[in-house]
Structures are given as structure tokens and as C-alpha cells.
Amino acid sequence: MQAQDKPVLYDRLGGVYNIATVIDDLIDRVMADPRLNANPRVDEAHHRVSPAGFKYLVTEMLCGAAGGPQQYSGRPMGDSHRHLMITDQEWQAFMDDLQQTFDRFAVPQPEQDEVRAIVETTKEAIIVRPLQEGPEEGAARPHLAAG
């Protein structure tokens, strides 16, 4: 089989029904993860947002990004996550939850790698980096100057 004949990720994952089943497990993990819920903003969001709606949007997003016919209809990642002040450590906890879900469903490694690459494309919009302290920042903020 030539590379051009290789089915798209969506098909290799089994289509919307299989992807939705895996996302159902993942979101259940994420919603209950004490590492994520230690962030009060995330915990509040997990109690405010409907798990079913969250699962729907994540399924829609992954299906579309994996080459399926679905189109993501939710808000941009930054708009829906930036206010949660998600840290690198919380991102790693999420990625660990993703790995546990992969393991539960015995997702083959090549497909895991492709899904992980899709997820990683959202990281920059989701993580809020701490402000860097340094000489350039002090110089760029005139209100810090003595006067």
C-alpha cells in the first residue's frame, strides 16, 4: 500500500462512533482529575460546563482535524481556555489523561502520535505562561521608573 493510499486518521480511528467513545472516556477523566481541579478556575468550569456539550465539541474538533467530515463549531481555543490560567503542569496532567485513555482503548502507537500532534497544536492557545522577570521587561514598563 502506497502512502497516498493510507486511510486518513479519522478512518483509522474508526470514524465518529469510535472517536466519540474515546472522547467520552477522556472527558470523564479530565472532569474528575484532581490535578486539574486543583486550579479553581478549571474546577469552576468543570461544574459550569455540560459534560455532554464538552464531549460533543471535542469529538467534533478531533473528527474534523483527523480528516472526517465534521467541522468544529466551538469557540477558538484561546477564547475558551485563556481565562482558566492553565499551567504547563496542568497541560501535562491532561496529556497523561489522554495517554490513560489511549491505553484503555489500545489505540495503536502511530494513531496516538497523530492525535497527540493534533492536540499539541492547541497548546499555545491554552497555556498561560507566567510573566518573565528580566531587565527588558522592566525597561519596557515606564511606570516602574523612579520619578
pLDDT digits (tens, 9 = 90+) for 103-120: 999 999 999 999 999 999
In this model, does residue 131 exceed pLDDT 70?
no
Residue-wise burial string across 38-58, b where 16 or more C-beta atoms lie within 10 A, e elsewhere: ebeebeebbeeeeeeebbbbb
> In the prediction, which pLDDT does 38 show?
97
Confidence of residue 129 (pLDDT cuts 50, 70, 90): confident
**pLDDT at residue 66 is higher than 80:** yes
Q: Confidence band (pLDDT; 50, 70, 90) for 14?
A: very high
Question: How many CA atoms lie within 13 Å of 98's alpha carbon, on the beta-carbon side?
Answer: 20
- pLDDT, residue 128, reads 87
Provide the pLDDT for residue 24: 98
Supply the pLDDT for residue 93. 98
pTM of the entire structure?
0.84
